[in-house]
Amino acid sequence: MSPTTTPKFRNPRAKHNFQGRTCSVAAVGSYVPSRILTNADLEKMVDTSDEWITTRTGIKERRIAAESEFTSDLGAEAARRAMARAGVTPDQIDLIIVATITPDMPFPSTACLIQQKIGARRSAAFDIEAACSGFIYALEIGQQFIMSRTYDTVLVIGAEKLSSITDWKDRNTCVLFGDGAGAAVLRSRPNSHGLLTAVMGADGEKADLLFMPGGGSRCPASLESVNSRLHFLRMEGKETFKNAVQAMHTAATEALKRCELDISRIKLIIPHQANRRIIDAVGERLGARPDQLFVNLEKYGNTSAASVAIALDEAVQSGRIERGDLILMVVFGAGLTWGAAVIEW
Ligand code: UT7
Res 1 pLDDT > 50: no
DSSP class of 44 = T
Residue nearest to atom 20 of ligand 1 (CA): 56
48 ligand 1 Cβ < 6 A: yes
* DSSP for residue 293: B
Residue pLDDT, tens place only, 111-127: 999 999 999 999 999 99
Mean per-residue pLDDT of the chain: 96
What's the angle, vertex CA 324, arms to CA 318 and CA 326, rounded to 5?
Answer: 80
Q: For residues 8 and 184, which has the higher predicted lDDT (pLDDT)? A: 184
Task: Please give the domain boundaries of the chain with CATH numbers for all domains.
Answer: 14-187 (3.40.47.10), 195-344 (3.40.47.10)
Query: Which of left, alpha, beta for 260 (phi over 0: left; psi -120 to 50: alpha)?
Result: left
Catalytic, out of 132, 174, 193, 249: 132
* H or E segment and range at residue 339: strand 337-344
Each residue of 159-214: pLDDT tens digit?
Answer: 999 999 999 999 999 999 999 999 999 999 987 889 999 999 999 999 999 999 99
Tell me if 132 CB under 6 Å of ligand 1: yes
Task: Single out the residue of 201, 103, 188 nearest to residue 148, CA to CA.
Answer: 188
**pLDDT over 80 at 9, yes or no:** yes
Instruction: Take atom 36 of ligand 1 and give the residue whose Cα is closest.
Output: 172
Is pTM, for the whole model, over 0.85? yes
Task: Evaluate: CB of 306 within 6 angstroms of ligand 1.
Answer: no
Compute the distance from residue 172 Cα to the ligand 1 centre, in Å: 6
Q: Is the CB of 337 under 6 A from ligand 1?
A: no
Please indicate whether residue 39, judged by its CB atom, sits closer than 6 Å to ligand 1. Answer: no
